[in-house]
Structure 1
Amino acid sequence: MYRSHTCGELRASDINTDVTLSGWVHKSRDKGFVIWIDLRDRYGIIQLVFDEERTEAELLEKARSLGREFVIQVKGKVIERTSKNPNILTGDIEVLVQELVVLNQSLIPPFTLDDTTDGGDDLRMKYRYLDIRRRPVKNNLIFRSKVSMEVRKYLTNEGFIEVETPYLIKSTPEGARDFVVPSRMNEGQFYALPQSPQTFKQLLMVGGLDKYFQIVKCFRDEDLRADRQPEFTQIDCEMAFVEQEDILQVFEGLTRHLLMEINQKEVGPFPRLTYDDAMEKYGNDKPDIRFGMEFAELTNIAQHRDFAIFNSAEIVVGIAIPGGASYTRKEIDKLIDWIRRPQIGAKGMVYVKCNEDGSFKSSVDKFYNQEDLSTWAEKSSAKAGDLICILSGSIHETRSQLSALRMEMAERLGLRNPDHFAPLWVIDFPLLELDEESGNYHAMHHPFTSPKPGQLSLLETDPSAVRANAYDLVLNGNEIGGGSIRIHDKETQQIMFKHLGFTPEEAKAQFGFLLDAFQYGAPPHGGIAFGLDRLVAILGGQETIRDFIAFPKNNSGRDVMIDAPSLLDPEQLKELQLRTET
């Protein structure tokens, strides 16, 4: 028996108990006549004690030879600690060691395995197995497991069936590049790793399973950011015989369940915003509504003077920064420099200080009087002491720039409290987006999303006006889930393929199996997929997903621990018909 107890479970009630413990040497303190060793396992830390009065000399010397991260087993008696440690649960006791076995030695770790480590990201990624020993990373992985278990519990109680779908599938256009896998047995042909189980879960609805879910790996070969990985995990769900409202109710319920069980937070009914309203009020389709600073469109009231910059703009829009009137000119100039960065791309910014005495001071006093500025303040809900920041230009770019400024100011002002959860649904997305370079339309979500009822005919006359029967779930400014009611008949799906530029032959080659299935009594159906990595990170009070993944890739998509991707042996390439001998 390697252990009778774990390092984190012993308490004062266990005093005088004989125990066997195993774990890693976390720290060692040698005072000559006494040695204290902190022994660590997954469950916690407990102090071991060896001293000249009660410990044999040979055992004392053996304890003195232990290095950091040695794996050891000890037997001893639980005793009361003289100097108690209130910062750990085992701080009232220690174990007087009577036997010590070294199970394995360890090299000195390349970074400290404390809560706050001296290891940089690259070093921690290279030695991820050591990083996982650190309490923050370990706790994140335990937290992720808890979220996954609560998801399974809720969905199972709602009658969902967990079904595994294939990883080796056919390459299909879903918006990002596929990772492809060569087939040795079929020369020149390739599998693709799934970007999502989309078509399979629709086929399960045709198969009559009614309610499906899966916590599943997906793969997209795309540019990476802090909240993206080439392989990621989805909570993938589908339901038959449902309308949009059915989906929203079930998965609002799931989200409320997680917030209560994981975070002990109770939230009311989720607000709903149309896509158009979200863009108009916040400049993006995943707004953070934990704070205000809603956009104020000033175009009509700002274009009646001789200020050419506003007069030539497609839109003039602003936000009120709480307390911003106290900013110095130097601080405002730094803010202007921030939005001029290439990542944001604004050409400049007009500002208005709302003074405490009710007067206004702006960067455009030459063109606008106090009455004008007062109207802007009223429109933007600015109060005395606030700063109105105004951008102008083309609609899409200006809203995007102001959205970035809104989020930056909220971050600086401490308005994005990770302990406050503000979910909402964004609905009524455009069905299609126009690619300005090619002039072709592509699906805003995916080709299987149905148009809103009664709008199918608009595809022929005004494609950009068609709204999708789709919905995104947003939490604290992050999209955590998205889905739609699907097309479930062959004719409508063929019309959709046509407007996405597929020839009948291409549609049959890519999706003939799905079109065939629709001819055998496909029920109305719809679903949603949550990004588990992102959801877990947000519930855990963070927005970067990497530390909630056991073995993540770095920002270049590499696993620096195992050095992947890597070159293949020439014989393997030859066997896969990917390289011929020269």
Structure 2
Amino acid sequence: MLRTNTCGELRIEHVGQQVSLCGWVQKTRKLGGATFIDLRDRYGITQLVFSDDSDAGKALGQEGFTREMVLRASGLVIERESKNKNIPTGEIEIKLQNIEVLNKAITPPFTIEDETDGGDELRMKYRYLDLRRSVVRKNLELRHRMAIETRNYLDKQNFLEVETPVLIKSTPEGARDFVVPSRMNENQFYALPQSPQTFKQLLMVSGFDRYYQIVKCFRDEDLRADRQPEFTQIDCEMSFVEQEDILQTFEGLTKHLFRAVKGIDIPEIARMSYADAMKYYGNDKPDTRFEMKLVEFNEVVKGKSFKVFDDAELVVAICAKGAAEYTRKQLDELTEWVKRPQIGATGLVYARCNAEGTFKSSVDKFYNEEELKKWGVTCGAEKGDLILVLAGAREKTQKAMSELRLEMGNRLGLRDKNKFSCLWVLDFPLLEWNEGDPNLLASLAGRWHAKHHPFTSPKPEDIELLNTNPGAVRANAYDIVINGVEVGGGSIRIHNKDLQAKMFDVLGFTKEEAQKQFGFLMNAFEYGAPPHGGIAFGFDRLCSLFGGAESIRDFIAFPKNNSGRDVMIDAPSEISQEQLKELSIDTIIKTT
């Protein structure tokens, strides 16, 4: 090997040893007749030094060391006079005897340091340079550790890792597929999997009992900080289980990861129904690091001639503890914040509970002191608290108040990234009515679609409602939420052919369509499908949570930008007419 040691391992006990190191030049500096070089590799930084007037210095000084050039350095480990307590190798340095330039380097477009001067797009274009920064490397090291510990836990639970196909069949249910043309099968296409759902169910039919896979999945949907067109799941399935078995098994995985990776012992994970999550938090993935629950105000505010409240389907409030000192300017700014299109509220009403226990509101014209005190009692306001109220259509207002609650949590410092609150959300609706979701195919508009996927089993006691009131059917499903982020979700699956056929019927599939799309699964059920269920964790999201970051891109080696582009390799890109012709795509386009 070209090196005897890495740039991160030498310590004071190695003084006197002859060593060879390899790495990149982080920086150079001249001081008092000596030249210092910080040499960096994946493991750390070691300082090299040579005297300019020494024989070695005269030879080495002619090299003209520049940032990011690749060196092999040999010399003697000595104790540093001026120690650097900020790095593990800060007590020693290498007295150079020889340097070999393994490769020169031009000046990088941004500084390769933790606090870089490169913007997001520039760093993504030169991602191979960005990955040299220790802060980015540590993210990928965390990801590696998460994967190792996941495999360790699941292996001890008798799960078997099985790879499933990447080139599969496109199905109309769910988000949009990425499609791949087949050269050997003219005018036909594969799809990239949104998940290995049907294959892992078939593995249960095959008797594999416990399956997992850390697997790439693909969805052609609108992007944001926690979405990428290709992402990774911890995908799992178990046979002969009920919901409680899966919750216990994967609560165990969650606790194991926190203990092994973060050194944290989390308590038993709380459970909440979907109905309560919507009622008290306004969304199905509540951040339970702090309270500030939503409180319905309909009964205490209506009938007082305030048209905004009287005409609203829902009037809902939150109590921000200790925020009564907010100035009028701050409250006006908050009002403008909730009126943004992303939030969608038409306005904001507030009431302060002053230090003397009196109330002052923005609607004093309509509500007297006694009536405002009822507001305080209803939402548990105390001296120094601020009550914030929104009104309007129920669903829209819940969503807006949920966003306002999170914003107030940020402003009041209640969303500490080093604090973790885990939650199971249960009893979701099985179905949702789709009026036209931009992430779903247009052909699915105006019909029921599965909130999770069409293979999710209804709660046994709700099955009969499929015939009379599909919207009231609860799913035998569960999500795991950490700090307001949905990191995993799953369900007990349908394993009965007749019930699966009924589900397809409710979703608007004809018998012919269901057979064409999912006949292989329906046929497999006739050969003895065991009761089974599973879960999939968003591995990228889980890593970003453990790493204290909001964007999953920081934990993916080569991510796409917000437009779904890889700006480093310039993808997606056009392909040649010759390739189009070979794939028969040019014929399809001309015919269309």
Q: TM-score, normalised by structure 2?
A: 0.97
Query: Counterparts of 1:491-506 in structure 2 under 5 Å?
Result: 491-506=498-513
Q: Secondary structure at the match of 2:417?
A: coil
Q: What is aligned with 1:211? A: 210
1:372-427 per-residue CA deviation (whole Å, 9 max, x = no partner) reads: 21111122122211110000111100000000101111111111111100000000
Q: CA deviation at 1:262?
A: 1.1
In the alignment, is residue 564 of structure 1 matched against residue 581 of structure 2?
A: no
* Secondary structure in structure 1 of the residue aligned to 2:106: coil
**Is 1:442–2:441 an aligned residue pair?**
no
Q: 2:487 aligns with which of 475, 480, 483?
A: 480
Q: Which amino acid aligns with 1:511?
A: F
Aligned to 1:274: 273
Deviation (angstroms), 1:57:
4.4
Distance 2:288 2:491 in 1: 23
Which residue of structure 1 lines up, in the alignment, with residue 42 of structure 2?
Answer: 42
Which residue number corresponds to residue 21 of structure 1?
Answer: 21
Residue matched to 1:189: 188
Note the 1:176-325 alignment, pairs <5 A: 176-325=175-324
Report SS of the residue matched to 1:191. strand
Aligned length: 581
Whether the 8 Å contact between 1:434 and 1:440 is mirrored in structure 2 is yes
1:171 alignment counterpart: 170
Alignment pair present for 1:515 and 2:514: no
Amino acid at match of 1:134: R
DSSP 3-state at the match of 1:389: strand
Measure, in 2, the Cα distance between the counterparts of 1:49 and 1:76.
Answer: 9
Give 1:54 deviation, angstroms: 4.2
Distance 1:291 1:81 in 2: 48
Q: 1:386 and 1:55 mapped to 2: Cα distance?
A: 74
Structure 2 matches for 1:424-435, cutoff 5 A? 424-435=423-434
Deviates more, 1:143-152 or 1:572-581: 572-581
> Separation in 2 of the partners of 1:76 and 1:363?
74
Given that 1:174 and 1:195 are in contact with CA atoms closer than 8 Å, whether structure 2 keeps it comes out as no
SS in 1 for 2:13: helix
Matches within 5 A, 1:416-431: 416-431=415-430
Question: Whole-Å Cα distance in 1 between the matches of residues 269 and 147 of structure 2?
Answer: 22
- CA distance in 2 between counterparts of 1:239 and 1:18 reads 55
Secondary structure of the structure 2 residue equivalent to 1:379: helix
How far is 1:435 from its partner? 2.1
Q: Which runs of 5+ in 1 are unaligned?
A: none
Secondary structure at the counterpart of residue 108 of structure 1: coil
Question: How far apart are 1:455 and its partner, in Å?
Answer: 1.3
For 2:291, the aligned partner's letter is G
What is the distance in 2 between the residues matched to 1:361 and 1:24?
A: 63
Q: Verify the 8 A CA contact 2:60 2:99 in the aligned structure 1.
A: no
Amino acid across the alignment from 1:444: K
Query: Contact (CA 8 Å) 1:353, 1:361: kept in 2 or not?
Result: yes
Aligned to 1:92: 91
2:56–2:96 contact (8 Å) kept in structure 1: no
Distance (Å, rounded) in 1 between the aligned partners of 2:552 and 2:55: 47
Deviations 1:194-222 (A, max 9, x none): 00000000000000000000000000000
Residue number among 466, 469, 475 corresponding to 1:462 in the alignment: 469
Q: CA separation in 2, counterparts of 1:228 and 1:57?
A: 52
**Preserved contact between residue 60 and residue 98 of structure 2 (Cα < 8 Å):** no
- 2:547 aligned partner: 540
Give the Cα–Cα distance (whole angstroms) in 1 for the partners of residues 496 and 57 of structure 2: 82
Per the TM alignment, residue 32 of structure 1 is displaced from its structure 2 partner at its CA by 6.7
Name whichever of 540-549 and 237-246 sits farther off.
540-549
Counterpart Cα distance in 2 of 1:553 and 1:281:
36
**CA distance, structure 2, for counterparts of residue 363 and residue 31 of structure 1:** 65
Is the CA contact (8 Å cut-off) linking 1:17 and 1:78 kept in structure 2?
Answer: yes
- 1:363: which partner in 2? 362
How far off its partner does 1:359 sit? 0.4
Deviations 1:6-36 (A, max 9, x none): 0000000000000010000000002372100
Q: What is the distance in 1 between the residues matched to 2:296 and 2:32? A: 74
Contact 2:50 2:57 in 1 (8 A): no
Are 1:578 and 2:585 an aligned pair? yes
- Say which is worse superposed, 439-448 or 87-96, in terms of deviation: 439-448
Kindly report which structure 2 residues correspond to 1:40-79, keeping only aligned pairs within 5 A, or say none. Answer: 40-52=40-52, 54-63=54-63, 65-79=64-78
Runs of 4+ in 1 over 6 A off after TM superposition: none
CA shift in 2, pair 1:476/1:55, >3 Å: farther
The CA distance in 2 between the partners of 1:192 and 1:110, in whole Å, is 38
In 2, the alpha carbon distance for the partners of 1:395 and 1:486 equals 31
Offset at 1:53? 5.1
Contact 2:110/2:117 (8 A) holds in 1: yes
Which letter maps to 1:448?
A: F
CA contact 2:139–2:555 (8 Å) conserved in 1: yes
Counterparts of 2:7 and 2:15, CA distance in 1: 14
Q: Does 1:143 align with 2:135?
A: no
Alignment of 1:401-420 (within 5 A): 401-420=400-419
Query: In structure 2, the residue corresponding to 1:185 is in which secondary structure?
Result: coil
- SS of 2:586's equivalent in the other structure is coil
Instruction: Quote the Cα distance in structure 1 between the aligned partners of 2:172 and 2:435.
Output: 19
Please list the CA deviations of residues 97-130 of structure 1 after superposition, one character each: whole Å capped at 9, or x if unmatched: 1111000111110000010000000100000000
Q: 2: distance between equivalents of 1:516 and 1:528?
A: 23
Aligned partner letter, 2:392: G
* Structure 2: gaps spanning 5 or more residues: 437-444
In structure 1, distance between residues paired with 2:369 and 2:295 = 18
Q: Residues 115-130 of structure 1 correspond to what in structure 2 (within 5 A)?
A: 115-130=114-129
TM-score (norm 1): 0.98
What SS class does the counterpart of residue 326 from structure 1 fall into? coil
| Contact 1:51–1:60 (Cα < 8 Å) also in 2 | no
CA distance in 2, matches of 1:503, 1:389: 49
Partner in structure 1 of residue 2 of structure 2: 2
**Contact 2:284–2:425 (CA under 8 A) maintained in structure 1:** yes
Q: 3-state DSSP class of the match of 2:153? A: helix
8 Å contact 1:55–1:97 — kept in the other structure? no
Change (3 A) 1:303 1:55: farther
- SS at structure 2 position matched to 1:101: strand
2:61 is paired with a residue whose SS is helix
Instruction: Say if 2:450 and 2:507, in contact at 8 Å, map to a contact too.
Output: yes
Task: Show CA shifts across 1:537-576 (max 9, x none).
Answer: 0011112110100000000000000000001011111100
1:472–1:479 contact (8 Å) kept in structure 2: yes
Which deviations, in whole Å up to 9, do the C-alpha atoms of 1:412-447 show, x marking residues without a partner? Answer: 111111110000000000001112464411111100
Kindly provide the amino acid, as one letter, of the partner of residue 7 in structure 1. Answer: C
SS across alignment from 2:342 = coil
1:121-156 deviations in Å (ceiling 9; x for gaps): 010000000000001100100110000100000000
Rounded Cα–Cα distance in structure 1 between residues aligned with 2:72 and 2:222: 46
